[in-house]
Structure 1
């Protein structure tokens, strides 16, 4: 045992020493400058990349009498190889001014200034910068006899086409969704907001993955303090890999120990554009279609993009329905357990007789019934997600029917409990945000246990604790329960209710900056009032006379 702990202590100390600089040991030796020998530079690049098979090296001869050796280096698959061939290689080979140069430095200068028909061309001497550009999809041009290199922007490769988002579908609005390419996602937002005040700042995160992360906001609308706070939190992240926006979400959220999401994520460009216009900040991560939006408030997770495209009365009804559905998915099984266990007098007599007759053969108490059925439905739900789409939905539906029917016939659960759990499961799918829906699924078990111990008193106490907890949460300094706590009457027009667009003269409080107006005054429509109905027939009669 002492030897085991000794070896473990050495391993932990070694890992701490490696992570102290927050860099992987493989990248620590990428230092120094470019050498004046082309062969040595290529050998260094091969050594750094492990002589990987996807590293492509094209050797060319340029300069006077074709005596200067030149090499074009790029990585296959992450670069636009057609652009490299058409605008880089052919330009170098066909450039007449290169044939007059007598040194490698002059050749690279001519390539950077005149020969290359690509954007983002610059000369670089530091080896680590060259390697980073190469790994990011750039192309490096090296020449013999010079201690510098030309780096061009040729990022490309295969990417998924733009399609309708699968997780946030809407019956009205745009059918475009984000993809895994960062530049494409930024372009989708710029297509909607054609304004120079839409600012984008890029940072590189992850000492190993070197993931590109973009911060997007509208200058003059967003709160500058919130922008600084977002930059500060992102700068404080020191990790070797950023594989998805969920990594960043867990590092920048205000409250860690809560099931409720404090950062909103979406894969719809129009949703991001609408939130940017309200004063929020978007965080885009390369390699994922999910964009983070901060700050986030509780009621935001019950809103959908088509609420703003529909009439206000329809949108208000649907929002009320979503909130009701959320509470049904949260406490419906708990209410059944509490009513059948402690408060039978609150159930109508005829219904109580039916429930009692159903439960006569059930050997378990109501709380055990609820837990068994809830866990069974969670298993089916997870299995349906992990299985292929062609059979996932079929397994979920058939499995739920077969298990529910078999459990009732076996006398394990009552038919009423199956109905309650089925309604609860369906209700959890109606919440627009998956993060909020899964929070309700977790808290539901706590409410079931609370109802099993003290009945409705436990449910009411649980709701009070939940709302106190929600009122204490902040998202980048903004109260999570805005506009309910603190109470802001002006923001109620876009909360549970959605008033007509002509009433939204100002942006939400606590989010916008000095520019709070988003539309002119007196925008209410005033059609001409007429007591007579004009028809085409009347107009024709008037024309005849």
Structure 2
């Protein structure tokens, strides 16, 4: 065994020489274990954390002469818990510098912290460094070749609040935060089953961002889980700041205006998606959770569609689908009718439109594009400005500019009405990213309508439909269950039937377990007696 000790001593001497010569590099210690001498470990670690003012090296000496070293990041650990639960008992106990005392110290630390934190023994220097960077406290004891990594939470966290991007009239009020484990716990609290699996991964060379893949085993197809895992593991990037970084790497077709990965900050939406056979991807430091696969129809469904009675939800969905067609086609239809097909307008209405357009210097398509551009600019300005003045500026700006433009004869009043109605209709789309796709597509269809009239609108709509028919999200057709048509799944697309009718999960999304409710549960006065 002496040659092994000599070999290890040679490795440490080589590392110390590299430190002295300024040639030390972190990859050189990938497989190096901790040394029994506390001074050598401290010197290596101080070199690794050089110029890191937030790294705390804290020496502890017991009354018996035992030496300990604590290393942690200031602000990521609860210093009060650390002092009361560990350091105070250690400093008061008389511990001699002996192998028995080393074991006793390790046992004491584990016993003191087992009720409040996770304790992990780590012999590798590089693993201990990674643990410290993740907010853990490292305990090094003189004479021991293992570090104790203790997770004592202490960083600032945002409280659980109601989601702002997905407001609902009825339903749960809690939303995800920027803390990964809080988010997974919100889902675990709702789905209390051992088949809810959560796999941990790390993405980002420098950020080392934690990521969790959540799914329900038996409901989700294994091929989808494997594909999600494979796409995430092949990501090579310096850092991940938000879930959109991951989304752009895993979506099927980057150049499509339509989103193929759903995002949500509502735990109830994520849980219902998991129960349908989808996969959720949690990313640390963001409240938005990714859900795959995504279909076109899921982007048009709101959370409270499933908290109100089916007859109300069906009525609201009909209105919503009408509004999203208005948001896409209304300006183009107005331009095509007034420019190329005035014979389709009733005579009295045509006279009113012609009178309103008298004196306007621009063609209809130009003034419509100008007003659309200005409306989008006001909407963007309202988002970027501080909240107290953002909404006021966007609303007042729209009123003032629209009225002034009409009074000046730059645009006609019907165009202002059309653009305002289109903007209001676009707000009815529940998913912001899908609404953005419609805002983007409105302009090319508007230009086509200004060039060749209704034929341009038909050409644009058919081009969009062909693209949607070709689009896939993790192998699932984007327009399913309408194309391809699956009659039993259409009952939750254009309408929302009662829950006792929806006894099966979506055919193309779910794995082997396709039943979610027992049949024959229709309410009846006779059964209630």
Q: Which 5+ residue runs of structure 1 have no aligned equivalent?
A: 1-24, 531-545
Q: CA RMSD in A?
A: 1.9
Per-residue deviation, 1:26 = 7.9
Per-residue deviation, 1:324 = 1.1
**Equivalents in 1 of 2:376, 2:404: separation in Å?**
17
Listed as ranges, the matches of 1:143-222 within 5 Å are 143-222=141-220
* Stretch moving more, 401-410 or 42-51: 42-51
| SS across alignment from 1:528 | helix
Contact 1:101 1:107 (8 Å CA) reproduced: no
Q: Number of residue pairs matched?
A: 503
Q: Give the aligned partner of residue 39 of structure 1.
A: 39
**Equivalents in 1 of 2:93, 2:273: separation in Å?**
49
Q: Give the aligned partner of residue 489 of structure 1.
A: 487
**Equivalents in 2 of 1:28, 1:366: separation in Å?**
65
Per-residue deviation, 1:121 = 1.4
Cα 1:315–1:406 change in 2 (3 A) is same
**Equivalents in 2 of 1:94, 1:521: separation in Å?**
67
Q: Give the aligned partner of residue 19 of structure 1.
A: none
Q: Which 5+ residue runs of structure 2 have no aligned equivalent?
A: 1-23
Contact 2:331 2:418 (8 Å CA) reproduced: yes
Per-residue deviation, 1:362 = 0.6
Cα 1:33–1:529 change in 2 (3 A) is closer
Per-residue deviation, 1:95 = 5.4
| SS across alignment from 1:408 | helix
Per-residue deviation, 1:107 = 5.1
Per-residue deviation, 1:520 = 1.1
Q: Give the aligned partner of residue 135 of structure 2.
A: 137
Q: Give the aligned partner of residue 50 of structure 1.
A: 50
Listed as ranges, the matches of 1:502-517 within 5 Å are 502-517=500-515
Q: Give the aligned partner of residue 353 of structure 1.
A: 351
Contact 1:222 1:279 (8 Å CA) reproduced: yes
**Equivalents in 2 of 1:26, 1:79: separation in Å?**
27
Q: Confirm whether residue 340 of structure 1 aligns to residue 350 of structure 2.
A: no
Query: Which of 360, 368, 371 does residue 369 from structure 2 map onto?
Result: 371
**Equivalents in 2 of 1:529, 1:232: separation in Å?**
50
Q: Confirm whether residue 106 of structure 1 aligns to residue 106 of structure 2.
A: no
1:309-347 Cα shifts (integer Å, max 9, x gaps): 111111111112111111111111101111111011111
Cα 1:433–1:56 change in 2 (3 A) is same
Listed as ranges, the matches of 1:77-476 within 5 Å are 77-94=75-92, 98=95, 101-102=98-99, 105-106=102-103, 109-111=106-108, 113-117=110-114, 118-476=116-474
| SS across alignment from 1:357 | helix
* Stretch moving more, 106-115 or 201-210: 106-115
**Equivalents in 2 of 1:367, 1:93: separation in Å?**
80
1:17-47 Cα shifts (integer Å, max 9, x gaps): xxxxxxxx98545533323332332232222
Cα 1:375–1:286 change in 2 (3 A) is same
Contact 1:205 1:212 (8 Å CA) reproduced: yes
Per-residue deviation, 1:88 = 2.6
1:208-232 Cα shifts (integer Å, max 9, x gaps): 0000000111111111110111101
Runs (4 or more) in structure 1 with deviation over 6 Å come to none
Cα 1:76–1:220 change in 2 (3 A) is same
Q: Give the aligned partner of residue 539 of structure 1.
A: none
| SS across alignment from 1:501 | coil
Cα 1:94–1:521 change in 2 (3 A) is farther
Contact 2:65 2:96 (8 Å CA) reproduced: no
Give TM-score, length-normalised by structure 2: 0.91
Per-residue deviation, 1:108 = 5.3
Contact 1:136 1:155 (8 Å CA) reproduced: no
Per-residue deviation, 1:351 = 1.0
1:279-324 Cα shifts (integer Å, max 9, x gaps): 1110000000000000000000110111111111111111121111
Give TM-score, length-normalised by structure 1: 0.89
Per-residue deviation, 1:375 = 0.8
Contact 1:33 1:125 (8 Å CA) reproduced: yes
Contact 1:123 1:151 (8 Å CA) reproduced: yes
